[in-house]
Amino acid sequence: FIFGTQIKIFLIKSEIQKCSKDIGKIVHVTILFLCTTSLTPQTDLHQSCRHPVRSWGNQSFGSHLHNMTVSNGRLRIPRAGRYYLYAQVYFRYLTLSIDDYHSGSDSHQVVQCVYKKTAYARPIQLLKGVGTKCWAPDSENALHSIYQGGLFELRAGDEIFISVSSPTAVYAEDSSSYFGAFLFDL
């Protein structure tokens, strides 16, 4: 009886260890600052979304990076499987002038894209979110956030990154601009 119990305990422990190796593939990073967002368009990206955000970190409250790496704004996938990817970018335009309002430029299109970089020459667009907003001429700030999420089959070595249409309008606040992923294999 004791020998059988020891075998069961051993099997349970080995299953827990096996599961814990895979369950821990999770990341939630927040934007740090904007000076490393590319102001020069990256020509191999879709026309409306050519500015990769490169300044993500896990130093803020709620951020974590477990068994995954982020380098130069790209999240590297460590193991093949289904991953839930999500991203939110908060756009903030400064006060619009009355001249902007009367000229019709009170409307701003903001675009956020999630890309996958593989062995192919061009990154593959996975998600795209677009917002066109009109703000009153007396508004203090023009604010808009875009959230996206989806389940994707990824391979080990794939890199995930976020790009935007208007890098100067991205508001660098860690609770408003973030992205992440977690392994979702059953």
Residue 98 lies in a domain: yes
Query: Is the pLDDT higher at 93 or at 135?
Result: 93
Looking at residue 179, what is its pLDDT? 92
In a domain, 18, yes or no: no
**pLDDT for residue 124:** 95
- Is the pLDDT reported for residue 10 higher than 60? no
* Residue 20 forms part of a structural domain: no
Give the DSSP H or E segment for 170: none
* Residue 83's pLDDT band (cuts 50, 70, 90): very high
Question: Could you tell me if residue 167 is inside a domain?
Answer: yes
Q: Judge whether 30 lies within some domain.
A: yes
For residue 59 the two structure tokens come to 């130093």
Which residue's structure tokens are 């299953």?
15
Number of domains, the chain: 1
* Range with the poorest average pLDDT among 7-21, 40-54, 84-98, 122-136: 7-21
Indicate the length of the chain as a whole number: 186
Residue 101: its pLDDT value, please? 47
Q: Is the pLDDT of residue 5 over 50?
A: no
Compare 14 and 160 and report the one with higher pLDDT: 160
User: Dihedrals φ, ψ of 3, to 5°?
Assistant: -60, -45
What is the three-class DSSP state of 98? helix
The conformation of residue 55, written as its DSSP 8-state character, comes to: -
Question: What are the pLDDT digits (tens) for 114-156?
Answer: 999 999 989 999 999 998 777 666 666 678 889 999 999 999 9
Task: Let me know if residue 155 belongs to a domain.
Answer: yes
Give the CATH number of the domain where residue 179 resides. Answer: 2.60.120.40
**Residue 138 placed within a domain:** yes
pTM, two decimal places: 0.78
Residue 3, domain member (yes or no): no
Residues of the domain holding 59: 25-183
Q: Is the pLDDT of residue 9 over 70?
A: no
- Cα–Cα dist 91/112, whole Å: 10
The per-residue pLDDT for range 22-76, each reduced to its tens digit, is: 556 778 888 886 554 556 778 888 888 889 998 887 777 777 788 888 999 999 9
